[in-house]
């Protein structure tokens, strides 16, 4: 069972994000990752397979600074245990990033539709359809795009999304 976290603060949160997913380690997992915003137009993502402390050290989680972020520990259901399949999953343009707990049961249909629309998938996960769906629906409001995306999803899920 995976774990998800999200933090909004006034100060740098990379250490707090790592601590938050370490607190969820007892649930069991195979991969972990973080995404942080620091005022740039793109979300900064670091992730890989393995234990939180080891991955955080190897991938330099502490070097990524910012005050808004999400984190994830993955228990793979769709796609192998690989760096590419670890969460967070960014959109094509890097403007949206998602972590997800659960299963999107209609992901095959959504993936096909989004691929036909030109979206490039980097993972084998069901999760990645969420981030591309939000990107697809986005016009001016992230909230509206997220709600529109949610209406298309079937399955069981808890999702955290960030966008600059």
- Minimum CB distance to ligand GLU smaller for 27 or for 42: 27
* Rounded Cα–Cα distance for residues 132 and 114 (Å): 7
Tokens representing 23 are: 């607190």
| Cβ at position 27, least distance to ligand GLU in Å | 9
Q: Applying CB under 6 A, which residues contact ligand GLU?
A: 2, 74-79, 85, 100-103, 125-127
- Our CB check for ligand GLU shows the closer of 91 and 101 to be 101
Query: Which residue's C-beta sits nearest to ligand GLU?
Result: 2
Least CB distance to ligand GLU at residue 107 (A): 9
In whole angstroms, the minimum distance from the beta carbon of 67 to ligand GLU comes to: 26
The closest alpha carbon to 33, from 68, 67, 84, belongs to 84
Choice between 12 and 25, CB closer to ligand GLU:
25
Which residues, 6 or more positions from 106, have their beta carbon under 8 angstroms from its beta carbon?
A: 152, 153, 154, 155
Q: Which is nearer to ligand GLU, 20 or 127 (CB)?
A: 127
CA-atom Rg of the chain in angstroms: 15
- Residue 62 C-beta: closest distance to ligand GLU, Å: 24
Distances 24 to 28, 80, 109, 110 between C-alpha atoms, Å: 8, 21, 32, 30
Nearest approach, Cβ of 12 to ligand GLU (angstroms)? 26
**Nearer Cβ to ligand GLU, position 103 or 150?**
103
């Amino acid at each position: 069972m995976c774990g998800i976290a999200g933090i909004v603060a006034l100060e740098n949160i990379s250490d707090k994000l790592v601590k938050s997913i370490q607190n969820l380690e007892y649930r069991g997992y195979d991969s972990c990752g973080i995404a942080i915003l620091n005022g740039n137009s793109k979300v900064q993502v670091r992730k890989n397979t393995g234990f939180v402390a080891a991955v955080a050290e190897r991938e330099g989680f502490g070097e990524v600074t910012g005050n808004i972020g999400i984190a994830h520990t993955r228990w793979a259901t769709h796609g192998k245990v690989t760096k590419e399949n670890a969460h967070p999953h960014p959109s094509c343009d890097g403007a949206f990033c998602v972590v997800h707990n659960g299963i999107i049961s209609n992901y095959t249909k959504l993936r096909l539709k989004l691929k036909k629309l030109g979206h490039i998938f980097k993972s084998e996960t069901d999760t990645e359809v969420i981030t591309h769906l939000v990107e697809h629906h986005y016009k001016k409001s992230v909230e509206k795009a997220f709600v529109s995306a949610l209406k298309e999803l079937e399955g069981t899920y808890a999702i955290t999304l960030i966008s600059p």
